[in-house]
Amino acid sequence: LLLRWRRRRALWRKVAEAQERQELSLVRMEAAAQRFREQNPSVKVASILSLPLPELSRKLRDGSLPLDHVFYAYVGKALQIAIETNCITEFLQESETQLRRAKLMEKQGLLYGVPVSIKDSIDCQGHDSTLGFIKNLNKPAAEDSVVVQVLKRQGAIPFVKTNVPQSLISYDCKNLIFGQTRNPLMFTRTPGGSSGGEGALVGGGGSILGIGTDVGGSLRFPAAFCGICAIKPTGKRLSKRGVMAGVVGQKADVESLALCLRALLSEDMFSLDGTVPPLPFNEEVYSSTKPLRIGYYETDFFTMPSPAMRRAVRETKQLLEEAGHTLVPFELTNVEYVMFNYCVRGMFSDGGSSFARKFKGEMEKGGSGLFFWLAKAPHWLKTLLSWISKPFVPRFSSIIRSMKENTVDEVWSLHHEIEDFCHQFIAQWKQLNLDVMLCPMLGPALGIGYPAKLSVAVSYTMLYNALDFPAGVVPVTLVTDEDEEQLKGYKGYYQDWWDRTLAKAFRGSVGMPVAVQCVALPWQEELCLRFMKEVETL
């Protein structure tokens, strides 16, 4: 007991030190912003913050807007959003040195002078990548991740790191070290996760471009919940060296996402990481104006869409048809099987033992309590619970069954099965001669704490992680009083505890944004962005 008490006290001391560093970061940001305001009282900060990224970037490159004006305008705004939402974990103090160096750069990259926020799990030299784990504190990265190196070579200035949920296996944003991040549009709502700090900061206007990761919707949930755009590229389109988990992607408006991808898909990326295919940004595809043939569906028959989700797809479909595009119904089948047998079983194919090991020595299990408990349970208990719960809670039974330990043969068979499913999905896509797909996106933002209870509600996003298709989200509407009224009749497809809880989580969201998901085939990020731009414009 004494040893345990001493260990816990040492852990709390590490947490307290990290929280002090977080506080000190905010103090430094305030001092830097205050110093700049005093020295430059005539700078119109609001007009700088209102510029879209392509225009801001152009003004920075042609010298009509000084670099330090932009940098400190965003430092000040980021500080305000951090105080409101608790989204920033660390101010990268070396960004001020980089700002001075940027002024001397001979070659101006596409992101010259642009302040960029970075998710906690992406390595920045000299800073922790905690993933919300206490054990990862005081273990600074030896070098920048490849993505951060490319951003710097393109002239961007990474200036803050942002909060994540513990382990990243959650679409909320809370950990024991830095606490809960709130949605900038409604403080009682989650900003989504796991790139929740990025969602809150970009959604609140404290960053013009955010870099995050996506393992099951971790970019798309925060973007949809906070009313911004994001894209998850194909798994290997961008480098994952120095990234702790997931596929690297970006948050901003669509034109900004395109500019960022142009910068990242450069010779710098291909030379720093030889495993990334040398596919530069395809300008012709992105700027094309030919009418698209678009598949669409309103539900996946696993997670019943909220009235606002269904309306978002219908209204977007109608606008696209009026603009001259062809919309074709797409029939999704067997999403339940995909969720449990490919996604859950794929992530926990060793029975969850490696997942459970991540939590060894931690004082809290965050929003992953159910998975952690199941990962620790012996095989006989999982089998018994699965059998007993099947008639009453079939989805819970399926989760337990999916978390059994697999043999090497079974894992290989699972890989082949997922590949076959991907080929079948593409064959259905090609048979309908589709260019892209319009899909629902879970929304509006759930109340804080609800994602931990609703791990099953990730079906709309996780499908495209299993398939490894590029997928983006675009906010298209706001929740209305009529949507709220219709929600009273929400039952769900299974009418179980999860469906009842999801109905509660949706309530009280009038005025909150709702997005749609835009999907393309693998390696077609430019087409995905082109479709997103069309939806955003309409």
Q: What Rg, from alpha-carbon coordinates, does the chain have? A: 23
The one catalytic residue among 170, 218, 397, 459: 218
The Cα 261–Cα 269 span in angstroms is 11
The Cα 30–Cα 36 span in angstroms is 10
332 assigned to a ligand binding site: no
Catalytic site includes residue 194? yes
63 assigned to a ligand binding site: no
Q: Quick check: helix, strand or coil at residue 438?
A: strand
Residue type for 350, please? D
215 assigned to a ligand binding site: yes
Quickly count: other Cβ atoms within 10 Å of residue 55's Cβ.
12
Buried b / exposed e along 238-258 (16+ C-beta atoms within 10 A): bbbebbbbbbbbbbbbbbbbb
Catalytic site includes residue 218? yes
The Cα 48–Cα 343 span in angstroms is 43
3-state secondary structure 176-240: CCCEECCECCECCECCCCCCHHHHHHHHCCCCCCEEEEECCCCCHHHHHHHCCEEEECCCCCCCC
Tokens for 246, please give them.
Answer: 């997931």
Per DSSP, what are the bridge partners of residue 88?
162
Strand pairing class (471-478; 436-440): unpaired
Tokens for 519, please give them.
Answer: 């999907």
The one catalytic residue among 25, 57, 117, 119: 119
Task: Report the candidate in 331, 333, 332, 336 with the shortest Cα–Cα distance to residue 302.
Answer: 336
459 assigned to a ligand binding site: no
The Cα 66–Cα 513 span in angstroms is 34
The one catalytic residue among 121, 194, 306, 368: 194
216 assigned to a ligand binding site: yes
What is the phi/psi pair of residue 514, to 5°? -130, 135
Q: Pick out the residues of the known binding site for substrate.
A: 168, 194, 215-218
Q: Pick out the residues of the known binding site.
A: 168, 194, 215-218
List active site positions. Answer: 119, 194, 218
